Amino acid sequence: MAFTPPTLASETIAHIGSFPIRNSMVMGWLAMLVLITVALVIKKRGLKMVPRGLQNFVEMIVEGMFDFFDTVVQDKKQTMKFFPIVATIFIFVITSNWMGILPGVGSIGFYEKEHEIAAVENNIGIASTEENTETTGAAEAGNAEVPKEVFIPYFRSAYADVNMTFALAIISVVLTQIYGLMALGFFHYSGKFFKNPLKDPIGSAVGILELISEVSKMISFSFRLFGNIFAGEILLTVIGFLAPYIAPIPFYGLEIFVGFVQALVFSLLTLVFMKMAVTPHHEQAEPLYL
């Protein structure tokens, strides 16, 4: 059995019209389905004043997250404002990461020839089976290179695709700017980015750097999460190929921990940046009295 490492990009497994369905996208939908199902089950059972079972477990998680985030923000009103988006990011990322190590993810799929994959990616027609068979036979008869078959998994960890991480990073950064504008007003908030270069050349240069740093957050956010999840995917694939029975077990535990840490880091950084965005920017330091 030949070793097939995970590809850097996710793979297209189907089309809805001209819209490609990718295996990482399917895992993202499944993660959302799990979270929505849990919410609907709790709603159907009704919220009780003395929670039990699933409601008790969910309330424990939500209350624990709120108390933890409040220790970072140090302002309960601001914590209540940021909590819905930050908690949603944490829960969705950790659910997607942990679902990425379930049995069958990355290991159940189908084989396609390389030229067929290129045709699917470019959304062009694929030759009929008879034509493909004739082409393959002619290639074998002429000692030409036969198209290599590539394994395409049906399911792949959602955040092993940089498109998913980049989309989440855009949401985080854009909402941070919106919170800053709402809290400080347009002119006060934009004042830290745009200053008159004639009156304050240094402040103007610093403002440009601040603007660049805000844009670069999307890149750092997306590649940090993508790099860690993709590296874990490769690690599990390699260990599973070399020693498929006992050896991968400790690494699955490591991936559970990494999935938790990456969800926590992404949500905490979002929270810190939101807190910084709504904090008034003082142009001049207060005078120091001796």
**pLDDT for the residue numbered 287:** 42
Let me know if residue 144 belongs to a domain: yes
Let me know if residue 220 belongs to a domain: yes
Longest Cα–Cα distance in the chain: 93
Residue 65 is inside which H or E element, if any? Answer: helix 53-73
Let me know if residue 191 belongs to a domain: yes
Residues 123, 63 share a domain: no
Residues 196, 144 share a domain: no
Residue 283: pLDDT band (50, 70, 90) is very low
Residue tagged 């302002």 (tokens): 75
Let me know if residue 228 belongs to a domain: yes
pLDDT tens string 99-128:
888 888 877 877 777 655 555 555 554 444
Residue 172: pLDDT band (50, 70, 90) is very high
Asked whether 76 and 11 are in contact (CB, 8 A), the reply is no
Residues 236, 176 share a domain: yes
Give the chain's domain count: 2
Residues 131, 44 share a domain: no
Query: How far is residue 165's CA from residue 171's CA, in Å, rounded to a whole number?
Result: 10
The DSSP call for residue 20 is E
Residues 141, 61 share a domain: no
Query: How far is residue 120's CA from residue 18's CA, in Å, rounded to a whole number?
Result: 10
Extract the tokens encoding 275: 């807190």
**pLDDT for the residue numbered 289:** 38
pLDDT at 90 over 90: yes
Which structural domain range is residue 127 located in? 112-153
pLDDT at 3 over 70: no
Asked whether 241 and 188 are in contact (CB, 8 A), the reply is no
Let me know if residue 290 belongs to a domain: no
Residues 269, 184 share a domain: yes
pTM comes to 0.79
Residues 137, 87 share a domain: no
Of 29-43, 104-118, 167-181, 228-242, least confident by mean pLDDT is 104-118
Query: How far is residue 87's CA from residue 71's CA, in Å, rounded to a whole number?
Result: 14
| Pairwise pLDDT comparison (17 vs 268), residue with the higher score | 268
**pLDDT for the residue numbered 123:** 55
**pLDDT for the residue numbered 95:** 93
Residues 69, 37 share a domain: yes
pLDDT tens string 53-77:
888 888 899 999 999 999 999 889 9
Let me know if residue 7 belongs to a domain: no
Region 80-105: mean pLDDT is: 90
Average pLDDT, the chain: 80
- The helix/strand/coil state of 110 is strand
Asked whether 116 and 146 are in contact (CB, 8 A), the reply is no
Residues 227, 199 share a domain: yes
